[in-house]
């Protein structure tokens, strides 16, 4: 009786293995038929490549960093031009506590507290409270910053 059970077990295992091999062959045939040889679409490949490309890379070389962050020289701007291009975005509306152009009391207090025009210019160069250094424009010279401060004080009447 034991020999009969062993034969049945071997036949069953052999049958399962044959069925799995047959199923694998069928799956491979179907996959080959479905995939077909379609022409390569260069635009689709380029679109896919752009989606999987990294969005940036880490810069560890100081020289490479200097090259990437170098600013192009520009013609000197007048104080009025700097105010129009950089300062009015915050100082016209008083964004994040910036003294508004035209608010004589705020500018007078700030001028006294910071030590006059030179103190205000130094404060603008370093950044103050929420204002970034140089108003966020690294390419502005010290003279351009000072001219902008003088222009805002002039427009305010201080």
**Are 95 and 45 in a shared domain?**
no
The residue to which tokens 């260069």 are assigned? 42
- Provide the CA 61 distance to its chain's centre, in angstroms: 20
Q: Is the four-CA dihedral 17, 22, 25, 30 of positive or negative sign?
A: negative
Residue 23's domain comprises 2-52
What pLDDT does residue 10 have? 92
Residues 86 and 21 grouped into a single domain: no
Same domain, 24 and 90: no
Q: What's the pLDDT at 19?
A: 97
- Is residue 68 in a domain? no
Q: Could you tell me if 97 and 149 lie in one domain? A: yes
Regarding whether 104 and 149 lie in a shared domain, the answer is yes
> In this structure, is residue 66 part of a structural domain?
no
Q: Cα(75)–Cα(71) distance, rounded to whole angstroms? A: 13
- Structural domain contains residue 124: yes
**How does DSSP assign 37-68, residue by residue?**
-PPP-HHHHHHHHHHHS-S------HHHHHHH
Q: What is the pTM of this model?
A: 0.54
pLDDT tens digits for range 109-137: 887 777 888 888 888 888 888 888 888 87
108 and 146 assigned to the same domain: yes
Say how many domains are in the chain. Answer: 2
- Angle, nearest 10°, between helix axes 142-156 and 104-114? 140
pLDDT at 71: 67
Domain annotation covers residue 71: no
Q: Which residues of the chain have pLDDT under 70?
A: 1, 38-39, 71
Residues 150 and 107 in one domain: yes
Q: What is the CATH number of the domain that holds 133?
A: 1.10.760.10
Would you call 13 exposed, middle or buried from its count of C-beta atoms within 10 A (0-12, 13-18, 19+)? exposed
């Amino acid at each position: 009786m034991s020999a009969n059970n062993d034969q049945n077990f071997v036949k069953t295992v052999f049958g399962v293995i044959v069925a799995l091999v047959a199923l694998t062959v069928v799956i491979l045939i179907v996959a080959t038929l479905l995939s077909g040889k379609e022409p390569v679409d260069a635009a689709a490949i380029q679109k896919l490549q752009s989606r999987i490309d990294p969005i940036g890379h880490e810069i560890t070389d100081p020289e490479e960093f200097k090259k990437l962050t170098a600013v192009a020289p520009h013609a000197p701007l007048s104080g009025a031009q700097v105010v129009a291009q950089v300062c009015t975005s915050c100082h016209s509306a008083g964004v994040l506590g910036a003294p508004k152009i035209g608010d004589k009391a705020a500018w007078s207090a700030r001028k006294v507290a910071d030590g006059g025009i030179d103190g205000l210019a130094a404060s603008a160069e370093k950044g103050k409270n929420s204002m970034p250094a140089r108003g966020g424009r690294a390419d502005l010279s010290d003279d351009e910053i000072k001219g902008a401060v003088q222009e805002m004080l002039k427009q305010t009447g201080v």
